[in-house]
Chains A and B, each alone.
Chain A
């Protein structure tokens, strides 16, 4: 009897500590971020590319000399986005050749995929994200990115989960800027709901989304 209580206490303690840690790193609750640790004049920029052009549109106003190198994260099979990223680098990244990488991660959920099988595909996706965001930077001491822009598609939430893992472990983590899709007028996407309090900055394009008065800021149309 006594032993079983003792055994039960460890997982409970672990979960409790994990929750406390999670609350100490939530951007919505912590006002003074401790970053940056390093001092450089450039920043490594990672962007998650969804099906549309929205993420790439956001990049059109970004100074490539300053935000270099760049990492494009695309969903598996999204050859169109890979091509778009290459085109963009070809036209705008001329001054520094090949200062970009393209990471392919498995989709958390395919279009029309059943909700029941989603956890499995999402887990596969998370493993790949953890490899790039958490493990590889630790092994090579080359950080994943300084800033990560995500704008909606489901897989980007998985990517942000990997960032949260970094924060939980007090590893170097990019600042996450979530930009809700232009398509979202009155209701948040699933990623938007999930990342509202996890992203360091939460941006929407339609003011009607913020009527609930909770976290977020509206910058108008960014597309």
Chain B
């Protein structure tokens, strides 16, 4: 059997001299050790005259073959061969030996500047991974040593080490993306608006669909309230449904109402089809909010959330509202419209350039897909938005309604046959919204 003694890269005179002493050699021999290898470093030992650099000193004492040398680049071979390792308390040696599963006696060097090495050895002894000994007790500890009584030392866990870097990753990569996503670039619409929307809205949404969907999951409170107040059995539609996040609402009473999703992006509709728990297939229709997709008066309610602001001209935005109004019942229909506002709250932290906000502003909002593999580059897509100024949405709805012969105002003031009443309008989380209700003067 082989016992290996190591003192590390410096010196540990007392340990080396102790190991050469009769009591230690005797207890080693009594335990059946026939071979002893000592890595003595720069220790001053009584036999130093025998040792030149790289020399190996060998002798036979008390029936034990002793080999002593200063250094080797790696002690791994000795650790592997040894049946017992007696080491200084250096953390590197301790770790290497314990990882190899070798029985270990640690002798801390009391002559160092501070005795923190002792702390590590003691802590690991308390966890039953090794035995700590003083110089004077070494012989006794070898005699009483039970190599099988130690607990298994845990293997290296790389995930912890990588978590050290997470912090930096966060700042270096994610913050960059967040910052970019929160920025807004002023732009102006040119050329054919339909083509402009194709390039800067529809293509983009089809490209970013899966990633977009993974970030849009929480319904806004006012929308959730609107949908939960809709009477049972009503059928409505969501104009520009996106990933269909509003289709399963209200969540507390599924199936109470039936919302059908309309969107231009096939990729988003694929996701919208299984919106909610995934067990229900949602009805979705691929179409443009400007087309006459629906029969007039066919729905009980309609919502259009964050859709109309993607249309590039005031006329097209007005038409979109008109399609919305035409498709719902002119007797009892209810409509909720949300668009993005020029007034941004602190919560969204979007950085808005100085925009002329009297008639809204045309902007690009970058959508960044972070890279998945190191060799990829992050992809940036610029989405077109019309940011609505305060009052602009109400004006738009009013004009849209009046053009198709609807009176805007409360039912008590009715002078036309049909009209809409604005139930509430306001600004929530960087968005303007308008909720309206149809009325009819015929009873």
A residues lining the B interface (CB < 8 Å): 33, 35-36, 39, 41-43, 51-54, 57-63, 65-67, 80, 83, 111-112, 146-147, 149, 175, 177, 179, 181-187, 189, 200-201, 203, 206, 208, 219-223
**B375→A65 contact, CB < 8 A:** yes
Chain A nearest Cβ from B179, distance in angstroms: 9
Quick check: is B188 within 8 A (CB to CB) of the other chain? Answer: no
Chain B nearest Cβ from A171, distance in angstroms: 18
**B374→A187 contact, CB < 8 A:** no
**B161→A183 contact, CB < 8 A:** no
Closest chain A residue to B91 by CB distance? A183
- Are A54 and B91 CB-contacts (below 8 A) given A175-B168, A201-B167? yes
Chain B nearest Cβ from A68, distance in angstroms: 9
Report the Cα distance A186→B157, complex, angstroms: 22
Quick check: is B54 within 8 A (CB to CB) of the other chain? Answer: no
Which chain A residues lie closer than 8 Å to B375 at the CB level?
65
**A80→B377 contact, CB < 8 A:** no
Which chain B residues lie closer than 8 Å to A41 at the CB level?
173, 371, 374, 376-378
Report the Cα distance A97→B291, complex, angstroms: 59
Q: Which of A57, A80, A187, A201 contacts B161 (CB 8 A)?
A: A57
- Are A58 and B161 CB-contacts (below 8 A) given A41-B378, A53-B92, A186-B119? yes
Which chain B residues lie closer than 8 Å to A183 at the CB level?
90-91, 116-117, 119-120
Closest chain A residue to B165 by CB distance? A62
Report the Cα distance A80→B167, complex, angstroms: 30
**B116→A185 contact, CB < 8 A:** yes
13 A-B contact pairs sorted by A residue (CB < 8 Å): A36-B171, A41-B371, A52-B91, A54-B91, A80-B73, A185-B116, A185-B120, A201-B167, A203-B164, A206-B123, A219-B164, A222-B161, A223-B156
**B91→A179 contact, CB < 8 A:** no
Report the Cα distance A186→B92, complex, angstroms: 18
Report the Cα distance A183→B95, complex, angstroms: 10
Report the Cα distance A58→B163, complex, angstroms: 10
- Are A189 and B116 CB-contacts (below 8 A) given A41-B377, A182-B95, A219-B163? yes
**B91→A182 contact, CB < 8 A:** yes
Report the Cα distance A35→B179, complex, angstroms: 11
Quick check: is B221 within 8 A (CB to CB) of the other chain? Answer: no
Beyond A147-B165, A221-B160, 4 additional contacts (C-beta under 8 Å) are A65-B374, A183-B90, A184-B119, A186-B119
**B164→A187 contact, CB < 8 A:** no
Quick check: is B81 within 8 A (CB to CB) of the other chain? Answer: no
Interface of B is mostly: helix
Which chain A residues lie closer than 8 Å to B162 at the CB level?
61-62
Chain A nearest Cβ from B377, distance in angstroms: 6
Report the Cα distance A21→B119, complex, angstroms: 38
**A177→B161 contact, CB < 8 A:** no
- Are A43 and B374 CB-contacts (below 8 A) given A53-B92, A60-B161, A181-B91? no
The A-B contact count (CB < 8 A) is: 114
- Are A51 and B168 CB-contacts (below 8 A) given A181-B91, A184-B116, A219-B160? no
Which chain B residues lie closer than 8 Å to A65 at the CB level?
374-375
Report the Cα distance A151→B238, complex, angstroms: 57
Q: Which of B10, B123, B156, B176 contacts A57 (CB 8 A)?
A: B156
Give the interface size class of chain B: 35 or more
Report the Cα distance A177→B168, complex, angstroms: 9
**B159→A61 contact, CB < 8 A:** yes
- Are A66 and B116 CB-contacts (below 8 A) given A57-B156, A149-B164? no
**B119→A185 contact, CB < 8 A:** yes
Which chain B residues lie closer than 8 Å to A61 at the CB level?
158-162, 165
Chain B nearest Cβ from A99, distance in angstroms: 13
Which chain B residues lie closer than 8 Å to A185 at the CB level?
116, 119-120, 122-123
Closest chain B residue to A111 by CB distance? B10
Report the Cα distance A223→B124, complex, angstroms: 14
Nearest first, the 10 A-B pairs at minimum CB distance are: A183-B91, A61-B161, A52-B92, A61-B158, A61-B162, A65-B374, A185-B119, A185-B123, A183-B120, A147-B168
Quick check: is B172 within 8 A (CB to CB) of the other chain? Answer: yes
Closest chain A residue to B114 by CB distance? A187
Residues facing A in B1-37 (CB within 8 A) are 9-10
Report the Cα distance A185→B167, complex, angstroms: 23
Which chain B residues lie closer than 8 Å to A189 at the CB level?
116
Quick check: is B77 within 8 A (CB to CB) of the other chain? Answer: no
**A182→B120 contact, CB < 8 A:** yes
Quick check: is B191 within 8 A (CB to CB) of the other chain? Answer: no
Report the Cα distance A181→B171, complex, angstroms: 24
Chain A nearest Cβ from B300, distance in angstroms: 48
Quick check: is B175 within 8 A (CB to CB) of the other chain? Answer: yes
Report the Cα distance A63→B154, complex, angstroms: 23
Which chain A residues lie closer than 8 Å to B10 at the CB level?
111-112
Report the Cα distance A41→B95, complex, angstroms: 35
Which chain A residues lie closer than 8 Å to B154 at the CB level?
221
- Are A177 and B91 CB-contacts (below 8 A) given A36-B176, A185-B119? no
**A36→B119 contact, CB < 8 A:** no
Report the Cα distance A59→B162, complex, angstroms: 8
Which chain B residues lie closer than 8 Å to A175 at the CB level?
167-168, 171
Report the Cα distance A112→B122, complex, angstroms: 24
Report the Cα distance A147→B164, complex, angstroms: 11
Chain B nearest Cβ from A146, distance in angstroms: 7
Report the Cα distance A38→B172, complex, angstroms: 9
Report the Cα distance A35→B371, complex, angstroms: 20
Closest chain A residue to B378 by CB distance? A41
Which chain A residues lie closer than 8 Å to B159 at the CB level?
61
Which chain A residues lie closer than 8 Å to B176 at the CB level?
36, 39
Q: Which of A83, A181, A182, A222 contacts B164 (CB 8 A)?
A: A222
Which chain A residues lie closer than 8 Å to B156 at the CB level?
57, 60, 223
Type the 1/0 row for B140-181, where 1 means its CB is closer than 8 Å to any CB of A. 000000000000001011111111110110011101100000
**A51→B92 contact, CB < 8 A:** yes
